[in-house]
C-alpha cells in the first residue's frame, strides 16, 4: 500500500529495527513535534484572531517560504498543459488543505488542542474506506473491517454522550474537526493517484493554490472579533513557518532517507505530543474516555493495516 505522503516506496517500510538510524528517528520525532505544535499554536491564535485570518496567514507564509526553497533548488512547477498534475495540485490545495485548515481552526475555538489532535487521528480510518472504493489493491479485508469498527467506536467514544443528547456547541466543534480529518483522507487518495513530481514541487503547488483559495476568507472577516496581540501574530507565523513549511522540508528529507509508510507512523505520535503540549502549556486534561478512545483508534488503525503488513 502506498502512503498518502508520497508516491515513492523504498524497501521494506516495516523493517525498522535494522534500517532506521538514530538520525532517522530524530527526524521522525522532530517532524511529529512540528505537526503536533500546530494544535497548540492554533489554540493561542484563535484567542484574538478569527479563522478567516489565521488560515490565509498560515498558508501564505508557508507558500512563500517553500517557493524560495524551490527556486534555490532550481526546480519549477509543472506546465499548465500537464492536466493530471494540476488536477492533483488543485484538489490537494482546496479540499486537502484550505478546507481542513479552516474547519479545524473553527473547531478549536471550542475544544482543547489535545482533543482536536485525537479527533484527527481518525483520518487513517477514513482513508482505509476511501482507498477501498478507489484502488483495487486497497480492498478492505475481514481484519480491516474489524479494525475500522474498533476505530470508529473510539471516535464515537471520543464524541461522548453529547452525540446522543443533541447538537450542542462542543459537539459541533468536534464534528468540524472530524470533517477536517475526512478532508485529509481525501487528500491522501488524491496524492496517491497524482503523477510523480520532484518532492518539493507538489507541496509548493498545492500550498500556493490553498493560499490563493483562502484569500476570500479575509473578505468575510468580522473585524470586531480581531483583538490580536503579539502572541497571536507569532503563532500564525509559527503555523506557517514551523508546522507547514519547515515540516514540509523535514518531510522531504525523511522520505529521501526512509519510506512514506514509516513517516505515516507520525499519526500515532502526534496526538500524544499534542496532549503533552496541551498539559504543559494550557493545563489541559482529558477524561478517561479520551484516553480509552485514543487506544481504540490506535488499535483500529493497527488492525486495519495488519494483513497488509504481513503481505509485505
From first to last of its 312 residues, the chain has per-residue pLDDT tens of: 333 333 333 333 333 333 578 888 899 899 989 989 998 999 899 888 988 899 999 999 999 999 999 999 999 999 999 999 999 999 989 998 889 988 998 888 888 776 787 788 788 778 778 888 887 776 777 777 787 788 777 777 766 665 545 456 688 888 999 999 899 888 888 887 888 888 789 889 999 999 999 999 899 888 887 888 899 999 999 999 999 998 888 877 776 777 555 666 677 678 778 878 887 888 766 666 777 877 887 787 777 666 544 444
Does some domain include residue 8? Answer: no
Give just the sign of the alpha carbon dihedral 8, 64, 185, 309: positive
CA dist 38 and 116 (Å) reads: 11
The reported pLDDT for the residue numbered 16 is 37
- Of the candidates 3, 1, 22, the residue with the CA atom closest to the CA atom of residue 255: 3
The reported pLDDT for the residue numbered 187 is 85
The reported pLDDT for the residue numbered 273 is 82
Does some domain include residue 112? Answer: yes
Does some domain include residue 202? Answer: yes
Residue bearing cell 468575510: 220
Give the list of residues 6+ apart from residue 278 with CB closer than 8 angstroms, or none. 39, 40, 43, 112, 113, 114, 284
Does some domain include residue 237? Answer: yes
Does some domain include residue 140? Answer: yes
- Residue 168's CB: how many other CB atoms inside 10 A? 11
Residue 70 and residue 200 in contact, taking contact as beta carbons nearer than 8 Å: yes
The reported pLDDT for the residue numbered 248 is 82
Report how many domains make up the chain.
1
Domain limits for position 108: 21-311
Does some domain include residue 141? Answer: yes
Does some domain include residue 130? Answer: yes
Amino acid at each position: 500500500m502506498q502512503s498518502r505522503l508520497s508516491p515513492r516506496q523504498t524497501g521494506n517500510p516495516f523493517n525498522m529495527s535494522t534500517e532506521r538510524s538514530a538520525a532517522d528517528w530524530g527526524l521522525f520525532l522532530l517532524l511529529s513535534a512540528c505537526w503536533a505544535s500546530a494544535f497548540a499554536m492554533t489554540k493561542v491564535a484563535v484567542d484574538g484572531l478569527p479563522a478567516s485570518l489565521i488560515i490565509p496567514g498560515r498558508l501564505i507564509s508557508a507558500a512563500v517560504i517553500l517557493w524560495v526553497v524551490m527556486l534555490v533548488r532550481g526546480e519549477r512547477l509543472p506546465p499548465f498543459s500537464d492536466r493530471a498534475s494540476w488536477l492533483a495540485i488543485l484538489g490537494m490545495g482546496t479540499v486537502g488543505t484550505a478546507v481542513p485548515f479552516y474547519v479545524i481552526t473553527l473547531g478549536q475555538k471550542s475544544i482543547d488542542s489535545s482533543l482536536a489532535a485525537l479527533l484527527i487521528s481518525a483520518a487513517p480510518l477514513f482513508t482505509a474506506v476511501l482507498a477501498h472504493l478507489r484502488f483495487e489493491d486497497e480492498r478492505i479485508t475481514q481484519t480491516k473491517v474489524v479494525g475500522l469498527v474498533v476505530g470508529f467506536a473510539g471516535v464515537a467514544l471520543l464524541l461522548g454522550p453529547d452525540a446522543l443528547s443533541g447538537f450542542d456547541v462542543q459537539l459541533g466543534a468536534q464534528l468540524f474537526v472530524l470533517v477536517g480529518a475526512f478532508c485529509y483522507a481525501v487528500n491522501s487518495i488524491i496524492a496517491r493517484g497524482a503523477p510523480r513530481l520532484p518532492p518539493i514541487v507538489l507541496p509548493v503547488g498545492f500550498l500556493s493554490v490553498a493560499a490563493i483559495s483562502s484569500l476570500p476568507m479575509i473578505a468575510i472577516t468580522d473585524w470586531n472579533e480581531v483583538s490580536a496581540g503579539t502572541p497571536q501574530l507569532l503563532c500564525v507565523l509559527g503555523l506557517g513557518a514551523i508546522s507547514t513549511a519547515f515540516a514540509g522540508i523535514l518531510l522531504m528529507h525523511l522520505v529521501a532517507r526512509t519510506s512514506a509508510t514509516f513517516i505515516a507512523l507520525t499519526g500515532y505520535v502526534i496526538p500524544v505530543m499534542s496532549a503533552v503540549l496541551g498539559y504543559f502549556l494550557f493545563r489541559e486534561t482529558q477524561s478517561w474516555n479520551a484516553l480509552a478512545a485514543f487506544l481504540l483508534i490506535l488499535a483500529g488503525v493497527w488492525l486495519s493495516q495488519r494483513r497488509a503488513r504481513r503481505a509485505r
